[in-house]
A and B are shown apart, each in its own frame.
Chain A
Amino acid sequence: MNNRLKVLRAERNWSQADLAQRLEVSRQSVNAIETGKFDPSLPLAFKLAKLFGTTIEAIFLDIE
């Protein structure tokens, strides 16, 4: 699944490590989600949305 994590992260000048720390996951996990290798669970998607102050649909795009 495509997502806008990289863009949202860049807008805030956060590194993957910064985001990982805020999400309480490893940097590798942030990279896996960002590159679309792993689709996060609903609770983690909500956590991301809350962190970026937006909605889940604004982060994750249902485009193959």
Chain B
Amino acid sequence: MPFMPTKEAKMRYRRRGAPAIVIVIGTFYGVHWVFDRYHPSEPWAIFLALLQPLSLIVLATFIVQFLNEDRDEVQMAYRRHAVSWATAGLLAVSLCWNQLGVYKLAGAREVAPGMAIPVFVGFLIVALLALKRRYQ
């Protein structure tokens, strides 16, 4: 399978990382659900607000671990490159949307933090397709 890590690496990663990623993504959306439904006040609100970016950092760590498990260095470089572009794309969209929101321009609405993951995945797919020719 050309777009996946070597079989052994994939199995090692699945055993260790997959359940943890489910918990991390669950935490990410769970925090949003708690905020939306219960409107917590301090100090819980601060704790929960910190939990969400922390879960993203953990997710990023898992992505890096996943990439490091791959012994196929060309594919690893290819995916690292794509992840870098996807991260840059997500940052660009976040900054731009925040700027529009701050100055109330272009009818920018509030977007749930949970949108970060689908946006990242969208950029990742585009980056993988765009970089395919360069690496393969």
Contact = CB atoms under 8 A, between A and B. Distances in A.
Nearest to B5: A26
B2 interface: yes
A9 interface: no
Interface stretch (B20-28, B68-76, B85-93, B95-103): B68-76
Interface string A19-62: 00000111111011100011011001000000000000000000
Nearest to A35: B136
Interface residues of A, number: 14
Interface of B: 1-2, 6, 71-75, 77, 134-136
B74 to A, nearest CB: 4
Contact of A44 (B6, B73, B75, B135): B73
Interface of A: 24-29, 31-33, 37-38, 40-41, 44
Given A25-B71, A25-B72, A32-B136, A38 B77 contact: yes
Contact of A25 (B1, B73, B135, B136): B73
A24 B71 contact: yes
B136 A31 contact: yes
